[in-house]
Amino acid sequence: MILVELQKLVQRPRTWVSFALLCGLPVLVAVLLAVTRIGPEPGEQPAFLSAVLSNGVLFPAAALAIVLPLFLPVAVAVVGGDAIAGEAGTGTLRTLLLRPVGRTRLLVAKLVAMVAFVLTAVVLVVATSLVAGLTLFPAQPAEITSVSGVALSPQQLALRIVAAMLYVAVSMLGVGAIALFLSTLTDSPLAAALGALAALVTSQVLVTLDAAGSVRPYLPTRYWLAWIDLFRDPILWRDIERGLAIQAIYVAVFLGVAWANFATKDIKS
Amino acid sequence: MIETARLTKHYGAQVVVNDVDLTVGEGQRYGLLGPNGSGKTTLIRMLLGLVYPTRGEITVMGAPVPGRVASVLPQVGALVEGPGAYPHLSGRRNLALLDAAGPGGPRRSRRARVEEALERVGLQGLDRRPVKAFSLGMRQRLGLAAALLRGPRLLVLDEPTNGLDPQGIREIRDLLAELNAAGTTVLLSSHLLPEVELLCSHIGVIDRGRLVLQSDLERLRVPTGRVVVTTPDADRAGAMLDGRVEHRGGDRLVVRDSEPALLNRRLVEAGVRVTELVVERRSLEDVILEVTRPGADRVDRVDGRR
């Protein structure tokens, strides 16, 4: 069933459109930056962009910072929201369950497909932005400095970018689990995706609000940018660990309720 | 094959299926007949483990449902409320994905299974067109092919001829009869009486959630104890059979008589010319109208207020 889900993901034109858009945005930023040479001030968001003008090797990190806050979670919410509700909409949910595919198996397969989608998206974004960074900007692989100002070797940088990719992928799973849960509640993929996005936007707003300080540590997006700490020297693990823990909790809770709801639900679609 | 006991389903305060004791024997062609909204689809969904009953028990092929539905479904082919397919994929691709999704059947023979199912339902010439370009009838056939994919022992079909033209309905009927002759038990639901009458050996009539009639089809069509005689000498025949003629219209007489052969001899011996002599049987329609109330899609005024 997992293989079938992956095949369905690959055969879906929408998957490739979202990959293209995800990769296109950083490339567009790179082109604009290369043409105008107007970079943001150091320390401004998105992270790393100011350093890219002088060194293209850093552009993959900047690209992650560009797609992370909005674009990537939107794509994940759409995929997660479509998981069960989309099958219900096309009438294939009952066909699958009668095949028979166990409800738990189906849910697990959907989750695996979603994780595969996120990982592929992150890898593609980093790969295309590396190419864009190296062709559009001067590349100085030997002269990379970390955020803390200490020099990094190219090996160190590669390792840290891989770690950042994994962290970004894990960060998306919380939103994905919420979307998957909502997808078992409704027969409308749109409603499920929008619901997950509403949760995302709420979290993003509260993170910036000082009055929400007491709930801030528990918000799913609170530690999203903690992967930047991977580029410090020494690496600052505190927020990264907390971010991973928060995502694990969100995934466990929402997958749990998604499973409980889906396994006992009357399939009327 | 299928047995339910006091099966009941509530949706909130609404009772959709009410105390249904359904019995479908092996090898039967069972037609579940009922007006729209009578609970047919909910009943079928419960038999297949899609909807969980509020009360009551279901046994399919000896296994309790929904408890052990996973062990039953591999031998069941089902089409519930219209076929489901991924609209952007071709018909073949849809069937192959469905085949791969469940247990059993080696990968090597997948193609052969898909082709055989397509041929059975008359879609063997299918090209690479996506399902979204299909007509309703083609989708219906594809749904049937999906139900037949694994050579099931039991076929459960909800409104299988929806969207088909008369030619297609006939083809599907022949196909189902052929499968049944080869040993497949068929349970189908319909709101169309002729469809059930032409195919089924057994019938269950469901009305507002209750199974109001369940019977062998032959047993329903017993003679009414009346004989319809058509004769150009209607006046003479009427005089002769005085007192037993219940109705007369032109040269057609409805006579109360339980022995049509004797009646015929008496008429002929008396010199009455008989054009036609038929034992009157109750039509299935009469039987069903007797046990059901107006369809659930009809909304009558409760009181006489305007």
Q: In this model, does residue B179 exceed pLDDT 80? A: yes
Peptide linkage before B66 cis (omega within 30 of 0): yes
How do strand B2-11 and strand B55-60 relate by DSSP bridges? antiparallel
Q: How far apart are CA A186 and CA A189, in angstroms?
A: 7
The DSSP symbol for A266 reads: -
Q: In this model, does residue B271 exceed pLDDT 50? A: yes
Q: In this model, does residue B295 exceed pLDDT 60? A: no
| B84/A92 Cβ within 8 A | yes
Residue of A90, A93, A97 lying closest to B87 (CB–CB): A90
3-state per-residue secondary structure call for A123-187: HHHHHHHHHHHHHHCCCCCCCEECCCCCEECHHHHHHHHHHHHHHHHHHHHHHHHHHHHHHHHCC
Residue of B45, B50, B101 lying closest to A4 (CB–CB): B101
CATH number for region B2-217 = 3.40.50.300
Q: How far is B135 from chain A (nearest CA, A)?
A: 15
Q: What is the pLDDT of residues A204-225, one digit of tens each?
A: 999 989 898 899 989 999 999 8
Q: In this model, does residue A170 exceed pLDDT 80? A: yes
Q: pLDDT tier at B304 (50, 70, 90 boundaries)?
A: very low
For residue A153, what pLDDT is reported? Answer: 84
Q: To the nearest whole percent, how much of chain B has pLDDT over 90?
A: 48
Interface test with B, best of A95, A103, A106, A261 (most B CBs within 10 A): A95
For residue A142, what pLDDT is reported? Answer: 67
Which string of b and e fits A118-156 if b means at least 16 CB within 10 Å?
bbbbbeebbebbbbbbeebbebeeeebebbeeeebeeee
For residue B94, what pLDDT is reported? Answer: 93
Angle at B69 between CA B64 and CA B70, to 5 degrees: 140
| A7/B81 Cβ within 8 A | no
| Domain of residue A220, residue span | 2-263
Looking at every residue in chain A, the average pLDDT score rounds to: 90
Q: How far apart are CA A199 and CA A177, in angstroms?
A: 11
Contact residues, chain A to chain B, C-beta under 8 Å? 1, 3-4, 7-8, 11-13, 87, 90-102, 264, 266-268
> How many domains, in total, are found in chain A?
1
pLDDT, average across residues A161-176: 93
Q: How far apart are CA B208 and CA A137, in angstroms?
A: 73
Report how far Cα B163 is from the mean position of its chain's Cα atoms: 16
Q: In this model, does residue A51 exceed pLDDT 60? A: yes
Q: pLDDT tier at A268 (50, 70, 90 boundaries)?
A: confident
pLDDT, average across residues B93-104: 89
Q: What is the pLDDT of residues A102-158, one digit of tens each?
A: 999 999 999 999 999 999 999 999 999 999 998 988 887 767 777 777 788 888 888
CATH of the structural domain B223-281, one choice from 3.40.30, 3.30.750, 1.10.3470, 3.30.70: 3.30.70
Q: Which amino acid is at A188?
A: S
Of all residues in chain B, the one with the smallest CA distance to A101 is B102
Q: How far apart are CA B8 and CA B226, in angstroms?
A: 40
Residue of A92, A93, A99 lying closest to B102 (CB–CB): A99
Q: How far is A186 from chain B (nearest CA, A)?
A: 16
Q: pLDDT tier at B303 (50, 70, 90 boundaries)?
A: low
pLDDT, average across residues B258-264: 86
| B45 interfaces chain A, CB cutoff of 8 Å | yes
Q: How far apart are CA B101 and CA A110, in angstroms?
A: 12
For residue B305, what pLDDT is reported? Answer: 47
Q: B-chain residues within 8 Å CB-CB of A94?
A: 45, 50, 80-81, 84
Q: What is the pLDDT of residues B230-259, one digit of tens each?
A: 988 888 888 888 788 888 888 888 888 888
Q: 3-class SS at B265? A: helix
For residue B297, what pLDDT is reported? Answer: 64
Angle at B121 between CA A4 and CA B138, to 5 degrees: 75
Q: Would A243 be classed as within a structural domain?
A: yes
Q: pLDDT tier at B192 (50, 70, 90 boundaries)?
A: confident
Q: B-chain residues within 8 Å CB-CB of A7?
A: 97, 100
Q: 3-class SS at B281? A: strand
pLDDT, average across residues B219-236: 85
Do residues B100 and B146 make contact, with C-beta atoms less than 8 angstroms apart? no
* Residue-range domain boundaries for chain B: 2-217, 223-281
Do residues A147 and A228 make contact, with C-beta atoms less than 8 angstroms apart? yes
Q: In this model, does residue A47 exceed pLDDT 80? A: no
For residue B298, what pLDDT is reported? Answer: 64
Q: Would A269 be classed as within a structural domain?
A: no
Question: Which of B 101-140 lie inside 8 A of A, CB atoms?
Answer: 101-103
Q: How far apart are CA A222 and CA A243, in angstroms?
A: 7
Q: Which amino acid is at A246?
A: I
pLDDT, average across residues A38-47: 73
Task: Take residue A45 and report the two structure tokens written for it.
Answer: 């968001």
Q: pLDDT tier at B292 (50, 70, 90 boundaries)?
A: confident
pLDDT, average across residues A243-257: 95
Q: 3-class SS at A254? A: helix
